[in-house]
C-alpha cells in the first residue's frame, strides 16, 4: 500500500482538533500554576503592582485562549504539512506502508 496523496483539508482539520486538545491541556496547566501562584502570593501578603484577581483570571483565560490559538495554528500547520507531503510524494512516489 502506498500513500500518494493526503487530503489537505482533512489533514488540516485533524491537526487542528489535535492541537486544540493539546492547547486545552497546556491551558489547564497554566491555570493550575497561576492559581497556585495566586495562593502563594495571598499567603505571603506581598504587595505587588498587579491586582489580586489578575493571576486567577489569567489562568482561566489560558483555558479558553490557548486551545483556540493552538487549534488555529494546528489547522495552518496541518495544511502546509499536507501540501509539502503531496509535493514530495509526487517526486518520490509516496510513502510505502506494509499492513497485515
**Distance separating alpha carbons of residues 39 and 56, to the nearest angstrom:** 9
pLDDT of residue 24: 93
| 2 within some domain | no
Q: How confident is residue 54, by pLDDT bands cut at 50, 70 and 90?
A: low
| 4 within some domain | no
Q: Which domain holds residue 91?
A: 10-96
pLDDT of residue 20: 95
Q: How confident is residue 55, by pLDDT bands cut at 50, 70 and 90?
A: low
Q: Looking at the 3D structure of the chain, how many domains does it have?
A: 1
Please, which residues bridge with residue 2 across strands? 96
**How does pLDDT run across 13-46, given as a tens digit for each residue?**
999 999 999 999 998 998 888 777 776 766 666 5
Check: CB of residue 31 under 8 Å from CB of residue 60: yes
Does 50 score more than 70 pLDDT?
no
Mean pLDDT, range 86-96, rounded to an integer: 91
Amino acid at each position: 500500500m502506498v500513500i500518494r496523496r493526503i487530503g489537505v483539508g482533512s489533514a488540516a482539520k485533524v491537526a487542528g482538533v489535535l492541537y486544540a486538545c493539546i492547547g486545552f491541556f497546556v491551558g489547564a496547566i497554566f491555570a493550575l500554576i497561576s492559581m497556585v501562584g495566586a495562593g502563594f502570593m495571598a499567603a505571603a501578603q506581598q504587595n505587588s503592582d498587579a491586582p489580586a484577581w489578575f493571576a486567577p483570571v489569567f489562568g482561566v483565560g489560558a483555558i479558553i485562549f490557548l486551545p483556540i490559538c493552538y487549534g488555529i495554528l494546528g489547522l495552518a500547520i496541518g495544511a502546509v504539512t499536507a501540501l509539502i507531503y503531496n509535493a514530495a510524494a509526487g517526486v518520490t512516489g509516496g510513502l510505502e506502508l506494509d499492513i497485515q
